[in-house]
Amino acid sequence: MKIVVAIKQVPARDSLLKVNSSGNWIEDADLSYEINEPDAYALEAGLQFKEKQGGEVVVICAGPDRASQTIREALAKGADRAIHIETEEDSAGDPLVLAAVMAKALEAEQPDLVLTGLQSDDLGYGQTGVILAETMGLPHATLIMNIEPEGDGIRVKRELEDGWFQNVDMPLPALLTIQSGATKLRYATLMGIKKAKTKEVKSLSVAELGGAGSASIRVERLYVPEKSKHSQIFDGPPKEAAAKLVEKLRFEARVL
């Protein structure tokens, strides 16, 4: 059983973010970075499935040189080896382009199961996983809470709305996007950190993979929303005022 987990390095969640001078992205000179949290849950799901079925877990990450830190973290948690697609600092932001280069990199791997996080913490498109499945010609399912072996395939539990779940039988190979919070994340042990230094990390350039192609989307402007205060007084009897308040909360604020 070969399980591939796609991970991404993103700015740390407690970082102080400022818009850069160009106004189209954040100032990243002094940022610290970490593994994308939804991808950490995908890695945990892959490691748990390996413990049930055996085989190996291979992590794949597209990013600049600094992404090697996140790759080593994944190896320290239990992944067996890694593939690093080396990109420029400002590239790999287009999920269509990213999926294309990742699919090319995985052609030689022929994985049985590909796992990704539901979305990234920085851009939040939530598209890379499903586009990668289409590019690789794999059946896929999203919002996965649990994976169990079922005959020659798998049975997955999907989270739907309003507390509903769906159990789906799927063939292998397949691609799944994992729901955040589906399980408890493990920490890297001291022994795992030591072993990570000797594990294989295969580096591939975008040029080796046939080029990234032209981006289909780009960020034109990034800005902090303006803060404003607005008060509204509801006159009339209490019952009538309460009805107006509920209507505002339901149809304008959309919190009910």
pLDDT in tens, 211-243: 777 777 888 888 888 887 778 888 889 999 899
- Residue 100 within any structural domain of the chain: yes
d(CA 38, CA 143): 11
The yes-or-no verdict on residue 95 having pLDDT over 70 is yes
Confidence tier at 23 by pLDDT (50, 70, 90): confident
Sheet holding 165-170, edge to edge: 165-170, 153-159, 140-150, 174-178, 113-117, 2-7, 56-63, 81-86, 201-205
- Residue 255 within any structural domain of the chain: no
Mean pLDDT value across the chain: 92
- Residue 234 within any structural domain of the chain: no
Q: Indicate the number of domains in the chain.
A: 1
Please tell me the least confidently modeled range out of 150-159, 186-195, 222-231.
Answer: 222-231
In this prediction, residue 114 carries a pLDDT of 98
Confidence tier at 202 by pLDDT (50, 70, 90): very high
Confidence tier at 256 by pLDDT (50, 70, 90): confident
In this prediction, residue 25 carries a pLDDT of 84
The yes-or-no verdict on residue 144 having pLDDT over 80 is yes
The yes-or-no verdict on residue 83 having pLDDT over 90 is yes
The yes-or-no verdict on residue 93 having pLDDT over 80 is no
Cβ-count burial of 11 within 10 angstroms (0-12 exposed, 13-18 middle, 19+ buried)? middle
In this prediction, residue 227 carries a pLDDT of 81
CA 18 to each of CA 28, 110, 166, 228: distance values in angstroms, whole numbers, following the listed order: 8, 41, 41, 20
- Residue 237 within any structural domain of the chain: no
- State how far Cα 247 lies from the chain centre: 37
Residue ranges making up the domain that contains 99? 2-205
d(CA 59, CA 200): 11
| pTM of the predicted model as reported, rounded to 2 decimal places | 0.85
- Residue 75 within any structural domain of the chain: yes
The yes-or-no verdict on residue 92 having pLDDT over 70 is no
Q: CATH number for the domain including 25? A: 3.40.50.620
The yes-or-no verdict on residue 250 having pLDDT over 80 is yes
Confidence tier at 27 by pLDDT (50, 70, 90): confident
- Residue 138 within any structural domain of the chain: yes
- Residue 252 within any structural domain of the chain: no
User: Checking DSSP bridges between strand 140-150 and strand 153-159, what pairing results, if any?
Assistant: antiparallel
In this prediction, residue 228 carries a pLDDT of 79
- Residue 226 within any structural domain of the chain: no
